[in-house]
Amino acid sequence: MRLGVAGALVDGVHRAGDVEVDRDSGRVTAIGLPRPGRGIAVPGFVDIQVNGFAGVDFLTADVEGHREAAEAMALTGVLAHQPTLITSAPDQMASAIATADKARSTTVGSRVLGAHLEGPFLSAERRGTHPVDLLRIPDVDLLRRLLAAGLVTQVTLAPELPGALVLVDLCLSAGIIVSCGHSNATAAEAHAAFDRGATMVTHLFDAMRPFTHRDPGIAGAALTRDDVTLGLIADPSHLSSEAVRLAFRAGPARVVLVTDALAAGGCKDGHFRLGAVEFDVLDGVARKQDGTLVGTTSTLVEAIRHACDSGVPLDEAVNAATRTPARFFPDADLGLLRPGDRADVVVLDDGLGIRAVYRDGIPLG
């Protein structure tokens, strides 16, 4: 089956010509075919930080809720994701991890890669929307308990907290991505964590020590290292165009676009919950009553468009939502679009709107 596109992003590079996929095998069979059409084919998006979608909060969702959210996300081009769980009571976190683990067997919509624990080992000074009374100092026993509840693929922690580096070691020994975030770390404290094996920062610039010329903090450390991936919420309410451009210029192949989306994603304005946190969405912006931002209602295709509007080249923006996050999951067959690759494909029109989504070569919607 031909997709009728003018070109495709193949292994991160634009290639002119149409794309062919086979529905029976679920694989890409050919690229660069003559008689091309319009638009561009790109790999399915990978969102490694998403708290919920379509009215579903992953902290409280059952397996059916995960499936509903996964189906809705897939229609926005996200064909793989990490359900992200913010700080909550240990029993609730463990239960949510177990449920997300069960949801990995879902056969439709966006694939569940594993849980992303955004807490509870975070800085009270940079907590953002996380309930301060539930934050914990690094606790090996608690982390072991959470990891035993189900598949955890990423942990976000504040590296400056006492004992945090021991948790880095524990995560690495279990093959878990360690990301630094919600942190008041100095540059030196951040470098210590990166040297220990942490490989990412969670939503760069947001909920972390501000960058200044004498105190560059965790953001400055991450921007100047080639071995650190930069998670980025490319949403106008979170980051200016200059901040988005700066991150891409510092390391275009290191940026991972995330939505940090909430249950309110894909919904009309209204009142919602994120675990125990209540918030309102007005004109698409989610805030607590005190004005604190609470994630986003954005989709990854909107993040790609905002990055491009900020001056980021299209191939870099798309790679940041596909190829770069997929590198964290080398055995998952994600983020690439070459002959033989899984035919998880998003077709974008000339205005970067979604024209079609294919999962294993089968059109959705």
For the stretch 199-213, pLDDT in tens is 999 999 999 999 999
Is 90 exceeded by the pLDDT of residue 314?
yes
Active site residues: 260
Is 80 exceeded by the pLDDT of residue 106?
no
pLDDT tens digits for range 213-263 = 999 999 999 999 999 999 999 999 899 999 999 999 999 999 999 999 999
Which percentage of the chain shows pLDDT scores above 70? 100
Categorize the per-residue pLDDT at 142 as very low, low, confident or very high, splitting at 50, 70 and 90. very high
The bridge status of strand 354-359 relative to strand 345-348 is antiparallel
Categorize the per-residue pLDDT at 108 as very low, low, confident or very high, splitting at 50, 70 and 90. confident
What's the full length of the chain, in residues?
A: 365
- pLDDT confidence of residue 35: 87
Q: What is d(CA 108, CA 101) in angstroms, rounded to the nearest whole number? A: 15
Is 70 exceeded by the pLDDT of residue 89?
yes
Q: What is d(CA 244, CA 310) in angstroms, rounded to the nearest whole number? A: 7
Is 90 exceeded by the pLDDT of residue 352?
yes
Is 90 exceeded by the pLDDT of residue 31?
yes
Q: What is d(CA 295, CA 34) in angstroms, rounded to the nearest whole number? A: 43
| Domains of the chain and CATH, by start | 1-44+335-365 (2.30.40.10), 45-333 (3.20.20.140)
pLDDT tens digits for range 356-365 = 999 999 999 8
Q: What is d(CA 239, CA 94) in angstroms, rounded to the nearest whole number? A: 32
- pLDDT confidence of residue 107: 66
- pLDDT confidence of residue 273: 85
pLDDT, mean of residues 2-29 = 96
pLDDT, mean of residues 115-140 = 97
